[in-house]
Amino acid sequence: MNRLPRLTALLGAALAVAGCAGSDSQDTGGEITVFAAASLKSTFAELGTQFEETNPGTRVRFNFAGSSDLVAQLTQGAPADVFASADEPNMVKAVDAGLVDGEPVTFATNTLTIVTPPDNPKDVASFADLAEPGTSVVVCAPQVPCGSATERVAEAAGVALSPVSEESSVTDVLGKITSGQADAGLVYVTDAKVAGDQVTAIPFPESGDAVNTYPMAVLDGAANAELAQQFVDLVTGPTGGQVLAEAGFAAP
């Protein structure tokens, strides 16, 4: 007479164990916030989507801006898990401020190109042409990686530029050109590629004097350090390398 209750109890215990095992095998997910240079927007958005699909239940939030602005936000206490800079000096600032956990890893390089509206109204054909009177030129501000690269190129070329505007990110420079507010601008080759037929891209040999190296790192105090490291591994691994190469980035 006691067998049925005992069997019921055993069955209930077995189901409870199976339920626990099932819950352990499921991905509990999580969320990370990635602070990334504006020039990484399209590639990181794609990689973020891939990361979420590979890790069900996870979410990747992005904050894209000029690298110097991102460092300023981080030093002021903005919460984030990963920082990807468009140059090494801004990553050094983050390291010196005690914001980085471990060693940053470089994952890409980028160079500048000239962009003009599609019809190239001033017939710009070289870097020197940017200094011609009457040519309105837009560049990044000196503290931004693309602005620092612009200064290095101008010095190497012996050309003095008189920009009509200095922008806080490379995407802002691109916006000035695609909206027809300037005759020419200096952006990364990757940004010109994203813009497609909205601009005319004019490569110039002096760009080789200012190659920007991109490092990234997990941040100290990351809310989800393990998941953050997995995202860094994706970007720096074969999948990330392929996506970056297709966007026009070169290997470090």
214 is in an annotated binding site: no
137 is in an annotated binding site: no
Known binder of ligand: residue 170? yes
Q: Residue 29's pLDDT is what?
A: 75
pLDDT for 11 equals 37
| 39 labelled ligand-binding | yes
Is 3.30.420.130 the CATH classification of the domain at 112-209?
A: no
State whether the Cα torsion 94-96-102-107 is positive or negative.
Answer: positive
Residue 72 has a pLDDT of 97
pLDDT at residue 19 in the model: 40
Domain regions of the chain by residue span: 30-109+214-246, 112-209
Amino acid in the structure at residue 27: D
Task: Give the DSSP letter of residue 85.
Answer: -
* Joined tokens for residue 55: 């890790």
Instruction: Please report the DSSP string for 39-84 in residue order.
Output: GGHHHHHHHHHHHHHHSTTEEEEEEEE-HHHHHHHHHTT---SEEE
Which tokens go with 82?
Answer: 């990963």
| CA–CA separation, 197 and 65 (whole Å) | 24
Looking at this protein, which amino acid is placed at residue 169?
S
Residue 140's DSSP bridge partners are: 167
Q: What are phi and psi of 236, to 5 degrees?
A: -85, -5
Q: Please determine whether the domains at 30-109+214-246 and 112-209 fall in the same fold group of CATH.
A: yes
pLDDT in tens, the chain (252 residues): 444 444 344 434 433 433 433 333 334 579 999 999 999 999 999 999 999 999 999 999 999 999 999 999 999 999 999 999 999 999 999 999 999 999 999 999 999 999 999 999 999 999 999 999 999 999 999 999 999 999 999 999 999 999 999 999 999 999 999 999 999 999 999 999 999 999 999 999 999 999 999 999 999 999 999 999 999 999 999 999 999 999 999 999
pLDDT at 90: 96
Q: 238-246 vs 225-236: helix axis angle to the nearest 10?
A: 60
For residue 218 the two structure tokens come to 């997990």
Alpha-carbon span 131 to 75, nearest angstrom? 37
Assigned superfamily of 30-109+214-246: Periplasmic binding protein-like II (3.40.190.10)
Q: Which residues pair with residue 95 across a beta bridge? A: none
Tokens coding 249 = 């980035």
pLDDT at 42: 95
CB 104 within 8 A of CB 95: yes
Residue bearing tokens 């916030």: 33
Decide if 108 contacts 190 (C-beta within 8 A).
Answer: no
